[in-house]
Amino acid sequence: MGVLDLPFSFDEISFNDGGIQTESSLVQMEVENDVKPLFQPYHVLEENRINYDHINLNRHAHIKFLRVGLKGLSSQAVGLDASQAWICYWILHALDLLGATLSKSEIERTINTISACQNPTGGFGGGPQQFSHVAPTYAAVNTLAIIGTEEAYNVVDREKLYEWFMSLKQPDGSFQMNEGGEIDVRGCYCVIATAKLLNILTPELTKDVAEFVASCQTYEGGIGGYPGNEAHGGYTFCGLATLEILNKTDYIDSEALMEWLTSCQMKLEGGFQGRINKLVDGCYSFWQGGSFPLLEAIYTRNQEQFDPCGFFDREALQEYILLCCQNQYGGLLDKPRKSPDFYHTCYCLSGLSLAQHYYNYDTIQNDFKENPELTTIVGKVSNLIRATHPVHNISMVKEKRITSYFSNSSIVNIGSNESISSSIEIITNKPKEEQV
């Protein structure tokens, strides 16, 4: 599969505006015109085609780009002052996927900075002394999980964090992003995914979350940010991953979701659009691509028969990321002509990882298992990067480590009639060596 192997000229699979030009069709054609020359040399009909075994992930340049970020950001990054925890996560996760090892100093400094973002209330702010917000809290905990040491894990004050999460909970099951802040499906994912890693998921915290998420599924099949909003790749992943954690994927219409999701892969570009009739963007390689393992898990649990390699064209997605989203000096990007940044570097690589690795859902252990026999690599064999976890988007290894670390420290309700805040106690017992 893949687009480069299709024995048609690219013009045949180009967007057809039916003679009717609108703003949408004009920008779509511009993108296709940027993509075609990047694909052409590798196309099967090209006379002196370059063997696509030569397609290369510019790993060293990307590692360098990310490492420069860790050293420090220029004054132009001031707009990201409230996104420092996010940048840490984007850079560290990308480095982890690329197989780079962090130095002792990088680890120590990251722990320092993430600790400085933590508030006495238990949540994390986007930077030091900034009040808590669920999005940077998710990013901070994922960053600590990527570091993966006991010292990193112990930065989190789980009891306080739990209380803070509960304070954001709304009557309809959703969560505010911060005190007085906006409400959408991102909030559900950030809270539930973080709580899952830290083993602080309780019935009170998860109450009605699935109902709220399900109410955001639209007539298109995808999930919007809030009931009534348009179906959108980012919110779809957030919603679906939340339901997967809660074991409540039966709350949505998975057939309709699959229909919509598969229709978001672009026929020429091979990457994904985030909404219908929008343009391809490298970051949706993860946000849309990431919903496939989750949906395939549902199909597996329902004992449906489907292609052993899943539902989307994994080669085509890799072609788009490798040929259209790499900056030659390092970093990955949205689409040709755009500049690289840490966000797109993180999510293009996360999407690449999902397209390379195939995950089977293990219905006995109720967990995702990588199936190495179905690994698919476009280009050089050395393009293979680490497998990312389809729910948490940290590497499989790091997800296992943190969940096993906290598996024995659970939150227990003492007496169901007492008030929520007083009924919660964290019991930490058994050293982790006892776990297998």
Partner 1 sequence: MESVVDQGWADVERTYQDEGPFEIMPIAYSIEYKEKMDILRTLMKNNEKSERALKLTEDIIALSPSNYVIWKYRQEIIKELNVDLKGELNLFVEYAEENPKCYQLWHHRQVIIEKLNDPLDELQFIHDMLQYDSKNYHAWTYREWIVRHFNLWDEEIKFSDTMIKDDDRNNSAWNYRFFILTEKPDNDIEAVLKDEIEYAKQKINFDPTNQSPWMYLKGIIEKSKYKLADFADELLPFCENLQKIEPYKYALEYQLYTNESILKTLNSEKEQEQQKDICRTICSKLEECDKIRKKYWKYVRESY
Exactly one of 14, 121, 263, 423 binds partner 1 (CB under 8 A); which one? 263
Say whether residue 312 binds partner 1 (CB under 8 A).
yes
Give the nearer residue to partner 1 in terms of CB position, either 180 or 372. Answer: 180
Measured from the CB atom, the residue of 112 and 428 that comes closer to partner 1 is 112
CA nearest to 196, candidates 424, 414, 404, 357: 404
CA pair distance 363, 63, nearest whole angstrom: 37
> Does residue 32 belong to the site contacting partner 1 (CB under 8 A)?
no
Amino acid identity for residue 247 in this structure: N
Burial of 67 (0-12, 13-18, 19+ CB in 10 A): middle
Under 8 Å between Cβ of 56 and 106: no
348 is catalytic: no
Q: Please, what is the minimum distance in Å from the beta carbon of residue 238 to partner 1?
A: 14
Considering the rule CB under 8 A, would residue 278 count as an interface residue with partner 1?
yes
Which tokens go with 308? 């052993």
DSSP at 96 = H
Question: Least distance to partner 1 from the beta carbon of 409, Å?
Answer: 25
Q: Give the N- to C-terminal CA distance of the chain in Å, as an integer.
A: 41
Q: Which one of 233, 270, 289, 379 is in contact with partner 1 (CB under 8 A)?
A: 270
326 forms beta bridges with 332
- Residue 20 contacts partner 1 per CB under 8 A: yes
Residue from 47, 48, 51, 74 touching partner 1 (CB under 8 A): that is 74
Determine whether 54 is an active site residue: no
Chosen residue from 123, 127, 330, 351 binding partner 1 by CB under 8 A: 127
Return the structure tokens found at 360.
């089977």
Q: Is the distance from CB of 124 to CB of 114 less than 8 angstroms?
A: yes
- CA torsion angle 315 320 321 322 (round to 10): 80
Nearer to partner 1, 169 or 278 (CB): 278
Is residue 232 among the annotated active site residues? yes
121 lines the binding site for partner 1 (CB under 8 A): no
- Is residue 61 part of the contact set for partner 1 (CB under 8 A)? no
Residue 163 CA to residue 78 CA, distance in Å, equals 31
Q: Which is nearer to partner 1, 43 or 389 (CB)?
A: 43
Q: Is 374 a residue that touches partner 1 (CB under 8 A)? A: no
What is the DSSP annotation of 28-69?
HHHHHHHHHHHHGGG-TT-TTPPPGGG----HHHHHHHHHHH
**Residue in 29, 61, 63, 116 binding partner 1, rule: CB under 8 A:** 116
Candidates 75, 101, 339, 365: give the one binding partner 1 (CB under 8 A): 75
* 396-435 positions binding partner 1, by CB under 8 A: none
- Site for partner 1 (CB under 8 A): which residue of 307, 373, 433, 434? 307
Q: How far apart are CA 197 and CA 153, in angstroms?
A: 10
Q: Which of 43, 133, 278, 392 is flagged as catalytic?
A: 278
Q: Which of 344, 357, 392, 401 is catalytic?
A: 344
Least spacing, CB of residue 94 vs partner 1, in Å = 13
Q: Is residue 16 at the binding interface for partner 1, with CB under 8 A as the rule?
A: yes
Q: How far is the CB of 404 from partner 1 (least distance, A)?
A: 26
Q: Is 277 in the site for partner 1 (CB under 8 A)?
A: yes
List 109, 380, 400, 432, residue binding partner 1 (CB under 8 A): 109
Under the binding rule (CB under 8 A), the answer on residue 23 touching partner 1 is yes
Burial class of residue 59 in the structure, from the number of CB atoms within 10 Å of its CB (0-12 exposed, 13-18 middle, 19+ buried) = middle
At residue 259, what are phi and psi to the nearest 5 degrees? -60, -50
d(CA 353, CA 378): 11
Residues noted as catalytic: 232, 275, 278, 281, 283-284, 334, 341, 344
